[in-house]
Structure formats: structure tokens, C-alpha cells
């Protein structure tokens, strides 16, 4: 970093570049900077030895109820979320598969589970749950 860089005045923060085809936070678990936590590691022995393209799942269109939202809609949304929330289960399956399969997170099952987790995480924004028959 150049000696006269204004970034040198910053402390206790992470600065993401605005350059490139896609912003860095979206490559880091879909980070949308809404309270996401990042871990910055300076020890080169812990740095990854391989780089992979970030997952880029198609955007799921939010459910449009076609009218103004009413209180009962919010109640139904909450109940739907409670009934269909599978994020913890999917994440545990992903961890188990990644630990046990020869090719780890590169295995097709792990890649599918990661996509399912992405859908589950976005439920509160989209109203679209992970398929009900995904996790039996």
C-alpha cells in the first residue's frame, strides 16, 4: 500500500474494494454487510492453497402477494418460516459430507447443499423456502 494512501489512517475495520465484476462481500458467503462477521488471518501458514470461483446462484424472485401486506400475512409468513426452516439441518449435512467425502466441499452433494443453504438463508427476503422434499 502506498505511504500516502488514505487507508493507512483506518484502524479496526475491513475495507472492501469496489473494483471488479462483483463485489467481494457477495463472494464471501453472500455477505450483504447486514451484520456479517469476517475473520482476517495474517498467518501465511493458514492461507488457502487453492482458489475457486465463488458460487453464483440465480437470484430467487421474492413472492409477490399482489396487494398490500396485512397483519395476517406477517403471521402466516412467520409460521411458514418456522415450518420450513431447514438451514441448521442443511448446514450440518454439508459439514458432515465435506468432512467425510473424498473431494470434500467440491463434491456434487456439498455443492447442492450449499445452494440449498443459500436459498434457506434468503427465505426472510424472498419468502421462498427450500423444497420440502429436500431434507428427508
In a domain, 60, yes or no: yes
Residue 75 inside a domain? The answer is: yes
With respect to residue 133, please indicate whether it lies within any of the assigned structural domains: no
- What is the domain count for the chain? 1
Asked if 94 contacts 114 with a C-beta cutoff of 8 angstroms, the reply is: yes
Full domain range(s) for residue 83: 6-126
How many alpha carbons lie under 13 Å from residue 79 in its C-beta half-sphere?
A: 6
With a cut of 80, say whether residue 34 has pLDDT above it.
no
Query: Does residue 1 fall inside a structural domain?
Result: no
Kindly list the distances between the CA atom of residue 11 and the CA atoms of 16, 18, 24, 133, in Å, as whole numbers in the listed order: 14, 19, 20, 47
The reported pLDDT for the residue numbered 132 is: 55
pLDDT in tens, 47-96: 888 888 878 888 778 889 999 999 999 999 999 999 999 999 999 999 99
Classify residue 135: in a domain, yes or no: no
- Quote the pTM value: 0.68
The answer to whether residue 27 sits within a structural domain is yes
Within a domain: residue 136? Answer: no
- How does residue 114 score in pLDDT terms, banded at 50, 70 and 90? very high
> What is the distance between the alpha carbons of residues 28 and 19, in angstroms, rounded to a whole number?
16
Q: What is the mean pLDDT of residues 91-110?
A: 95
Amino acid at each position: 500500500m502506498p505511504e500516502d494512501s488514505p487507508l493507512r489512517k483506518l484502524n479496526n475495520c475491513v475495507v472492501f474494494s469496489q473494483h471488479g465484476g462483483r463485489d467481494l462481500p457477495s463472494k464471501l458467503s453472500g455477505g450483504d454487510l447486514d451484520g456479517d462477521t469476517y475473520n482476517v488471518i495474517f498467518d501465511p501458514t493458514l492461507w488457502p492453497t487453492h482458489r475457486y470461483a465463488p458460487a453464483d446462484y440465480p437470484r430467487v424472485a421474492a413472492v409477490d402477494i399482489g396487494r398490500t401486506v396485512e397483519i395476517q400475512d406477517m403471521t402466516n409468513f412467520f409460521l411458514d418460516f418456522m415450518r420450513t426452516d431447514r438451514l441448521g439441518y442443511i448446514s450440518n449435512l454439508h459439514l458432515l459430507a465435506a468432512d467425510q467425502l473424498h473431494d470434500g466441499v467440491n463434491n456434487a452433494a456439498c455443492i447442492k447443499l450449499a445452494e440449498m443453504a443459500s436459498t434457506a438463508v434468503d427465505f426472510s427476503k424472498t419468502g421462498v423456502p427450500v423444497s420440502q422434499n429436500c431434507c428427508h
